[in-house]
Amino acid sequence: MPTSGSSNLWRTTSAEAFDAPPLSSDITVDLVIVGGGFTGASAALEAARSGASVALLEAGTFGHGGSGRNVGLVNAGLWLPPKDVLGILGETDGKRLIKALSNGPDIVFGLIEREGIDCEPVRQGTMHLAHSAAGLTNLRARFEQGALAGRSYELIDAAETANRTGTDRFAGALLDPGAGTIQPLAYCRGLARAAQSVGAHLHENSPVTAIAHDGKDWRITSGAHRVRARALLIATNAYQAHFGAPFAQKFIPVHYSQFATAPMPDSLRAKVLPNGEGCWDTALIMSSFRTDRAGRLIVGGIGDAEGMGALIHAGWARRKLRQIYPDLAKLPFEHHWSGRIAMTSDHVPKIVAPGPSALAVFGYSGRGICPGTVFGKAAARALLDGDDSVLPLPVLSGHDENLTGAKAAWYEFGATATHALFPRP
């Protein structure tokens, strides 16, 4: 179980320090953005670099929401296999989305290099691990879709998987050598720093209290001040404010928690993920693990480690660590934290138009770094140029999700029950 209370490792270790003042005066800009995560920061950077005036209002601090609580896997595409994406969206729109997201790692790592973002980037690939023989069958099907996804996947056997991970608990893996890992909060802060350096007006601790359109421009109110803009982007994702219709976004909130050990001894660090790949598995209630620059092992899984099932999720993390890496069984967890994911029923992101020259982007369903960066960049271009064709998906007039509270409770119940029943040694 955690030894030092709930604390977000990424906040402790972020090499990128960033802060911005609250909105303190009325301003007029070309584009106003609500939400300071990957999507909003990427959009602000793109808009400012293009020469447009842009203001971003964040209710808390940059990366406060899911972006600063992310696992940090820089993966291409969605959780869905490409054929499933085509089945949901059709050939034209499906290929449009797949193509846009297949370039995600190149875009993310390119921004990190261009802007000098100190976010522990490691581009040694990510591995989707087969937790069973059935999981390996699933990975073979995904491997066969590699060309469709625009990725050069490698299907590796159990022996090579053990060599790369330092554990023999998996039947094989699907390796994407062009993917990688980052410190997600540092990446988000780095995007914000870069946007500010080229003229973006960034404001933290500036919750939006009203959104209205006056027939010409958008008027966004925060406290006693107002931003006027011809275009609006809502990028709050799973941490949206209590906006009324038509600005409210419908999704299923799902929690994901992570547990970070103390740094491993050098002797074990050389054996556990020695190349620095990030991993997640094929289990129905999936889990993830990766290392950071200091050699901590970070174990993650669906469930709220700060909610009613906290002790169950913490106990699962300890047993999971013991199962995968017995030599680390006594290494203490020094940090644990949770974040919310905006899940959609079909696991496809949504772009909704809540009004003229306005977009709301949300629903990455657990894969936020590349989609957030790609969608934010594209949304800024679409709003500034008036050209929706640059977007990864068609714009919807609205999106609805039924029984979101019940579905969220079901996800948490399933994760808690699974973690409670996870084998004990």
pLDDT digits (tens, 9 = 90+) for 383-406: 999 999 999 999 999 999 999 999
Q: What single letter denotes the amino acid at residue 150?
A: G
Task: Mark 139-171 as b/e (b = at least 16 C-beta within 10 Å).
Answer: beebbebbebbbbebebbeeeebbebbbbeebb
Asked if the structure places residue 351 within a domain, the reply is yes
* Phi, psi dihedrals of residue 120, rounded to the nearest 5°: 55, 45
* Whole-angstrom distance, CA of residue 319 vs CA of residue 316: 5
Averaged confidence pLDDT in the chain: 95
Query: pLDDT of 163-208, one tens digit each?
Result: 999 999 999 999 999 999 999 999 999 999 999 999 999 999 999 9
CATH label of the domain that carries residue 138: 3.50.50.60
Tell me whether residue 2 is in a domain: no
**Torsional class of 366: left (φ above 0), alpha (ψ -120 to 50), beta (otherwise):** left
Host H or E run for residue 55: strand 54-57
Q: What is the pLDDT of residue 3?
A: 40
Three-state secondary structure call for residue 188: helix
Evaluate whether residue 398 is within a structural domain. yes
Whether the predicted pLDDT of 148 surpasses 90: no
- pLDDT at position 245: 81
Kind of pairing, strands 218-222 and 173-176?
Answer: unpaired
> Is the residue at 68 inside a domain?
yes
State the angle between helix axes of 91-102 and 104-115 in degrees (0 to 180), rounded to the nearest 10: 30
pLDDT at 6: 65
Answer whether residue 5 shows pLDDT above 60. Answer: no
- Total residue length of the chain: 425
pLDDT of residue 354: 96
**pLDDT band per the 50, 70, 90 thresholds, residue 2:** very low
Q: Is the pLDDT of residue 54 over 80?
A: yes
> Of the ranges 3-7, 19-23, 377-381, which one carries the lowest mean pLDDT score?
3-7
Cβ atoms of 365 and 347 closer than 8 Å: yes
Mean pLDDT of 64-79: 95
**Average pLDDT, stretch 59-71?**
96
Q: Which tens digits make up the pLDDT trace of 180-189?
A: 999 999 999 9
* pLDDT band at 243; cut points 50, 70, 90: confident
Q: What is the pLDDT of residue 261?
A: 98
The per-residue pLDDT for 40 is 98
- C-beta contacts of 314-318 below 8 A and 24+ residues apart: 314/1, 314/2, 314/259, 315/1, 315/419, 315/420, 316/419, 316/420, 316/422, 317/257, 317/259, 318/1
Contacts of 264 (CB under 8 A, 6+ apart): 272, 291, 295, 296, 297, 328, 331
Q: How confident is the model at residue 290 (pLDDT cuts 50, 70, 90)?
A: very high
List the end-to-end C-alpha distance of the chain, in Å, as a whole number.
16
Query: Residues 91-123: pLDDT tens digits?
Result: 999 999 999 999 999 999 999 999 999 999 999
User: What is the pTM for the complete model shown?
Assistant: 0.96
The share of the chain scoring above pLDDT 90, in percent, equals 93
The confidence score (pLDDT) of residue 337 equals: 97
Contacts of 53 (CB under 8 A, 6+ apart): 28, 29, 30, 31, 199, 201
Which of residues 240 and 383 earns the better pLDDT score?
383
Mean pLDDT in residue range 156-160: 97
pLDDT at 241: 81
How much of the chain, in percent, has pLDDT values that exceed 70?
Answer: 98
pLDDT value at residue 4:
44
Cβ contacts of residue 414 below 8 Å, gap of 6+?
285, 302
Query: Which pLDDT score, from 0 to 100, does residue 298 have?
Result: 98
Give mean pLDDT, residues 10-20: 96
**Two tokens, residue 399:** 């999106």
Tokens standing for residue 42: 């990427």
Instruction: For residue 3, tell me if it sits in a domain.
Output: no
- Residue 392 within any structural domain of the chain: yes
The 10 Å CB-count burial string (b at 16+, else e) for 107-124 is: bbbebbeebebbbbbbbb
- Give the number of domains in the chain: 1
Closest CA to 376 of 106, 35, 115: 35
Q: Domain range holding 138?
A: 9-421
State the angle between helix axes of 369-385 and 91-102 in degrees (0 to 180), rounded to the nearest 10: 110
